[in-house]
Amino acid sequence: MTNNKQDITTLGQLKKTDYKSRSVKDELRENLIKQLQKGAGGFEGIIGFEDTVIPDLQTAILSRHNILLLGLRGQAKTRIARLLVNLLDEWMPYIEGSELYDDPLAPISWFGHHEVLAKGDETPIAWVHRSERYTEKLATPDVTVADLIGDVDPIKAATMKLTYSDERVIHFGLIPRAHRGIFVINELPDLQARIQVSLFNILQERDIQIRGFKLRLPLDIQFVFTANPEDYTNRGSIVTPLKDRIESQILTHYPRSVEISRKITQQEASLTDEQRATVEADGLVKDLVEQIAFEARNSEYIDKKSGVSARLTISAFENLVSNAERRMLINHEKSTFVRISDFLGVIPAITGKIELVYEGELEGPGKVANILIGKAIKTLMLQFFPDPEKSKKAKAPNPYAEIINWFSDGNNLSLVDELPQQEYKKNLNSVTGLKALVKKFHPRLTENQDLLLMEFVLHGLSEFSQLNKGFLDNGFAFSDMFNSLFNLQPDEDDLDIDDDRY
């Protein structure tokens, strides 16, 4: 519209502008076309779906379809739905006082028709921002038809002395009040079948029926539904006729690479300015956080149908930084960096976000979390250093021999969580050959990165069964693999982890 909305307060003034009535689906389509022509996509902040989900979503909008987003938890389904608001016009005119945001040129309610009939061009016009044109409802078994569509209000009928067949006695539910906007139902299979049936006519014929009174309300709504495939067998299902009326079903997925997953985590992680300024998080530890999720999605201990949400890596990274910050504050240091030993702090973020199968329940969530962290370290070890197993069998000198021999000579190393920076450095430097190994393969690193990789090597060697790693209450103890067996040092199979804490 070319006119300033603040100057348009009556129907007559609106008619003199270039405003034309159009459906919300046409509005979304036309605004998407403009964005695509400008090289934009309308879904800023969604990472990893550029070549998969987003093109399908844009196609559905161009086709003016209702949409079902189908995917496991933590795949940005709700976030995508909320971003559709950006494709609406910034401001929309409606008849002032209307419950249903009646279009001034095409009212559908009794109130809207009556206002135009009684006041003509003097009908008051108000404006609603696009952020108010989005309605979201989480489907739960206790949702009723009255919640979604409406019900007869006997008090209103008595007060206004009207019969129950009069439209004016209806208290409209969420769906009619979403007229000319976007309506989202999350976790659709959780909605009882009889409630899903009530959506049939709204999607197809745009009729609503309340207490036996058929009411012709040509509702104009963009429907978006989300569902988890797990729900089809565990909690409910989408009834076939309803699914048939949802024109486009779009499958979402988890990030397909560590790089993409890392971008999502760094975008979503909620860190304070103080944390960003005082706690250094190297790319290695960021990748380790993401690798934990990838290991979890392939773990025999975790239910693959349930999925592993992207929220796991986000929460884990926040805990990782906070654990390092806590150590810095306790030791009265001005800055610090995330260590591998800080990953003990991410266990609560892991255990609350994984669904264990029977074998996982036998192990316990705390131990499964430690196993996932260990597998992530083992996977990334091969990206930074030679394979310890192959190096041991190769004819060439073993680059880890000096380190392993140091422990074979009876030396031990403890790295507890609250170890001050200087003691941490001193302990790592005491291991013969450790610093030289890091410098050999990564010569141009900062001191903090050197120390991080030195600790990483120890954890990596333990995952390849070259060293023994014992779990302390607040850290790790490294020792010779064979001597530890004779000395009955704690190993991974004897973890004393209180699973009830998680």
The tens digit of pLDDT for each residue in 11-68 reads 999 999 999 999 999 999 999 999 999 987 778 889 999 999 999 999 999 999 999 9
Sorted by sequence, the CB contacts under 8 Å of residue 497 that are 6+ apart come out as 364, 366, 367, 370, 471
Question: How far is residue 20 CA from its own chain's centroid?
Answer: 38
275, 325 contact by CB (below 8 A):
yes
Determine the pLDDT at residue 186: 94
Is 340:285 a contact under the CB 8 Å cutoff?
A: yes
Ranges 190-204, 436-450, 462-476, most confident: 436-450
Distances (CA, A) of 34 to 40, 42, 60, 86, 476: 9, 10, 16, 12, 57
pLDDT for residue 374: 95
Q: How far apart (Å, rounded) are the C-alpha atoms in residues 400 and 410?
A: 17
Identify which of 86, 78, 84, 191 has the alpha carbon closest to the alpha carbon of residue 145.
Answer: 191
Which pLDDT belongs to residue 492? 45
* Rounded-to-integer distance, Cα 46 and Cα 264, Å: 8
Is the pLDDT assigned to residue 412 strictly greater than 70? Answer: yes
155-185 pLDDT tens trace: 777 777 776 667 777 888 899 999 999 999 9
Residue type, 274: E
Question: Within a 10 A sphere around the Cβ of 228, how many other Cβ atoms?
Answer: 22
Where does 13-120 show beta strands of DSSP type E? 67-70, 91-95
β-bridge pairing 221-227 and 67-70: parallel
Contacts of 115 (CB under 8 A, 6+ apart): 95, 97, 98, 102, 107, 123, 124
Instruction: Please state, in angstroms and rounded to a whole number, the distance separating the CA atoms of residues 433 and 217.
Output: 79
Looking at residue 1, its pLDDT comes to 53
The residue to which tokens 């903090």 are assigned = 448
> Taking the CA of residue 317 as centre, how many other CA atoms within 13 Å lie in the half-sphere pointing to its CB?
31
Interatomic CA distance for residues 76 and 308, integer angstroms: 13
Helix (H) or strand (E) holding 231: helix 231-234
For 496, phi then psi, to 5°, come to -105, 80
Specify the residue for token string 């949702």: 143
Inter-helix orientation angle 310-330/283-297, to 10°: 140
Q: Is the pLDDT of residue 499 over 50?
A: no
Average pLDDT over residues 430-457: 96
The answer to whether 95 touches 180, Cβ cutoff 8 Å, is: no
Residues of the chain with CATH 3.40.50: 5-143+176-188+218-251
Please answer whether residues 170 and 152 qualify as being in contact, where contact means their C-beta atoms are separated by less than 8 angstroms: yes
The single-letter DSSP state of residue 257 is S
More confidently predicted of 96 and 1: 96
* H/E element, 233: helix 231-234
Architecture of domain 5-143+176-188+218-251: 3-Layer(aba) Sandwich (3.40)
- Count CB-CB contacts under 10 A for residue 501: 10
Mean pLDDT (whole number) for 430-459? 96
pLDDT digits 0-9 by tens, 99-123: 999 999 999 988 999 999 999 999 9
For 393-406, give one letter per residue: b (16+ CB within 10 A) or e. Answer: eeeeebbbeebbeb
For every residue of 374-421, DSSP letters joined together read HHHHHHHHHHHS--HHHHHHSSSPPTTHHHHHHHHTT--EEEETT--H
Q: pLDDT tens for residues 294-315?
A: 999 999 999 988 889 989 999 9
H or E element, residue 152: strand 150-152
Compute how many other C-beta atoms are within 10 angstroms of the C-beta atom of residue 67. 24
pLDDT tens-digit series, residues 347-388: 999 998 899 998 999 999 999 999 999 999 999 999 999 999
Note whether 422 and 409 are within 8 A (CB).
no
Residue 86 three-state SS = helix
Query: Phi/psi of residue 421, each to 5°?
Result: -55, -45
DSSP run (H or E) holding 227: strand 221-227
pLDDT confidence band for 236 (50 / 70 / 90): low
Smallest CA-to-CA distance from 181 within 224, 225, 217, 138 is with: 224
